[in-house]
Chain A
Amino acid sequence: MENGTTMKNKIKVHRAMHNLTQEALAQEMGVARQTILAIEKGKYDPSLDLAFKIARRFCVNIDEVFVYEEN
């Protein structure tokens, strides 16, 4: 989000594929639902730890969920 870069993510898509609500994913990750919502909306970039946990939950590589883009 800074220095002309953006972090996009496909959590919403993967959640839909796994039929998971934000609340359910948040509970599994040990964070608040607002955190998942903020990540989905691009308002908060998760830590590497959380990003890997989310990717593992969806059984995909981290770059399939999170995309680092330079503007």
Chain B
Amino acid sequence: MKQNTVLLIAGIVGLIEVALFWVSVVLREPLIIIISFIAGILLIYGAKRTISDRREDERSALITQKAGARTLEVFWILFFAVSLGSLVMGFATPLGIPPPPKPFPRVPHDEPNLGYFGLLQMVLLFGMAFLYIGFRLYYARKYGEWDDDEE
């Protein structure tokens, strides 16, 4: 399979995921998007393995490896800091983490808080993606990705 075909498949899968996310919200059923997202990613990874015109060599592998390692190195600090901030919210009650009230609040009363937690996670994940892109550009430049000479 050609690399461009895989990119096209990834784009189509992305659009389907957006539609399924909407369906999931309308039906109030998180399992739809969770399962379909995992299935979509597996499909894209499976398609990537069949690429026949891949132009990847040891230098580009090193760039990917270094960017990934540096992203993790920085991201865990950001993630830990935000998690600590969230813990403060949990412990900032007179008796520590309060037990869930009985009966445990049912939907839709308690849903918005969980939703905002998901939003925070998404912001962190997008931050991670931007970090990775930034480090990738840095290492690509360092290892001469855009250099040119007289030839």
Interface residues of A (CB under 8 A from B): 21-23, 30-32, 34-35, 37-38, 40-41, 43-44, 46-47, 50
- CB of B58 within 8 A of chain A? yes
* B143 and A43 within 8 A (CB): yes
* B147 and A34 within 8 A (CB): yes
Minimum Cβ distance to chain A for residue B111 (Å): 50
Residues of A within 8 A of B148 (CB): 37
Known A38-B147, A41-B147, A43-B147; contact A32-B142, beta-carbon cutoff 8 A: no
Known A37-B144, A38-B143, A43-B144; contact A32-B151, beta-carbon cutoff 8 A: no
The CA-CA distance from A23 to B55 in the complex, in Å, is 13
* A32 and B149 within 8 A (CB): no
Residues of A within 8 A of B57 (CB): 30-32, 35
- CB of B59 within 8 A of chain A? yes
Minimum Cβ distance to chain B for residue A19 (Å): 13
Residues of A within 8 A of B59 (CB): 31-32, 34-35, 38, 44
